[in-house]
Amino acid sequence: MTAIPPRIPISLNASDGYVDLLEVGSLNAENGILSTNVVASGYVLGGTTTVPTGLVNGLSDGTMKTTAGAMSGAVSIGTGSLVASGAVSGLTVGATTTVTGGTGVTATIGNIVATTGNLQAGSSAHAGTVGSFPAVATSGELLLAAVTNGAGNFNTTISNASSVAQSQVVSIPDSGAATANFIVSKSGSTQTIATGSLALTLGTVTALGHIYTPKAAYTQAGGVGTAVPITTFAGTVTTDTMSDIAGAGHTFTLTGTVIAASSSIMLTMGPMSAPIVTNGVPLLQVTSIVGGTATLTITNIHLANAFNNTLTFYYAII
């Protein structure tokens, strides 16, 4: 077995020159540069390399510390640790690395890339967000953030459909409110568009279930020619008492923002307050539609008997 020569602890000071190798002891480079690897391996391991204002190019196994200077080039640490109060550039880490204290890790130029791993924001019980800024200053930020589930430790994955066959940009429209929800193809609860409208410019809507339209009941007051304000896309209207003679009629209007110039209005006759025929026979029709107003005409088409009743009819705006 080859005898190991004794090692003498030494202390080297490089004020303005170069030091190539340190076996055991400490190395202090005040203003100099360590031009080659500083090696502390095997039984030679010992000491701390301290660089207050200089540069260190390499270290294997041990501890390297900077108190004011920068580490340039590739710094390789086999089983030791790296403590830097200054900047560190060109650092390659072969195992999991944790940054404690400070303000985190920032890449002022270039990207932070996980080539075969994942990027994670936060941890269990510690909320984290992923943010992206636009090119224009003070124009807000797009944030991806998780919130607490209703119950259970469940994940939500956002991914593209497997059928995507082109590059695409999917934009989130302006909800016009501080909070809003997406409409999804499957849901365990009722999905509602609270404000605005849903427009289909191409294609068809297929209803496999019931399409529900809120409705209300309205009553005309002030005479048979008085306008009836409505606020729903469907409902019932009961007229004031009619007295048109045979062959005569009258007009009145339905008014409201639910009526658009492009709307179609379907009417269905309902009951009369007095028997039909003996109290006339009504014919109800829409004669004109403009934005906010629909004009309706009721004609007594009986040959002899006059109206002496009210009429209830149903309407639907599509």
Tens digits of residue pLDDT in 257-297: 999 999 999 999 999 999 999 999 999 999 999 999 999 99
191/183 Cα distance (integer angstroms) = 7
Among 318, 304, 315, 292, smallest CA distance to 220 is for 315
230/314 Cα distance (integer angstroms) = 12
Tokens representing 90 are 């060109």
> Strand order of the sheet with strand 249-255?
228-229, 249-255, 293-300, 282-290
Question: In this predicted structure, which of 137-141, 202-206, 215-219, 260-264 has the lowest mean pLDDT?
Answer: 202-206
What's the confidence (pLDDT) of residue 43? 31
Q: pLDDT class for 1, splitting at 50, 70, 90?
A: low
Backbone angles phi, psi at 42, to 5 degrees: 60, -140
Tokens representing 48 are 């701390």
The model's pTM: 0.50
Q: Which domains, ranges and CATH numbers included, belong to the chain?
A: 10-84 (no CATH), 215-317 (2.60.40)
Q: Which residue has the higher pLDDT, 201 or 232?
A: 232
65/71 Cα distance (integer angstroms) = 10
Among 275, 277, 280, 273, smallest CA distance to 313 is for 273
246/219 Cα distance (integer angstroms) = 24
Query: Per-residue b/e over 107-145, b at no fewer than 16 CB within 10 Å?
Result: eeeeeeeeeeeeeeeeeeeeeeeeeeeeeeeeeeeeeee
Of the chain, the percentage scoring pLDDT greater than 90 comes to 47
What's the confidence (pLDDT) of residue 309? 96
Q: What is the mean pLDDT of residues 141-153?
A: 91
Question: In this predicted structure, which of 51-55, 200-204, 261-265, 271-275 has the lowest mean pLDDT?
Answer: 51-55
What's the confidence (pLDDT) of residue 246? 97
Output the average pLDDT for the chain. Answer: 79
With tokens 């007229």, the residue in question is 239
Q: Which residues pair with 288 in a beta bridge?
A: 295
What's the confidence (pLDDT) of residue 156? 93
Q: Which of 22-26, 126-130, 156-160, 236-240 has the highest mean pLDDT?
A: 236-240
> Are 64 and 82 within 8 A, CB to CB?
yes
CA angle 193, 199, 201 (to 5 degrees): 155
What's the confidence (pLDDT) of residue 79? 56
* 238 pLDDT more than 80: yes
* 99 pLDDT more than 50: yes
With tokens 């790296």, the residue in question is 82
What's the confidence (pLDDT) of residue 26? 47
What's the confidence (pLDDT) of residue 208? 78
> Are 311 and 239 within 8 A, CB to CB?
yes
Question: In this predicted structure, which of 32-36, 179-183, 265-269, 312-316 has the lowest mean pLDDT?
Answer: 32-36
* 2 pLDDT more than 80: no
What's the confidence (pLDDT) of residue 277? 95
What's the confidence (pLDDT) of residue 273? 95
Burial of 218 (0-12, 13-18, 19+ CB in 10 A): middle
What's the confidence (pLDDT) of residue 50? 52
* 158 pLDDT more than 80: yes
- Terminal C-alpha separation, the chain: 99
Tokens representing 138 are 């003070």
What's the confidence (pLDDT) of residue 111? 85
307/275 Cα distance (integer angstroms) = 10
Give the rounded distance of the alpha carbon of 280 from its chain centre. 60
Q: pLDDT class for 184, splitting at 50, 70, 90?
A: confident
Question: In this predicted structure, which of 1-5, 19-23, 38-42, 192-196 has the lowest mean pLDDT?
Answer: 38-42
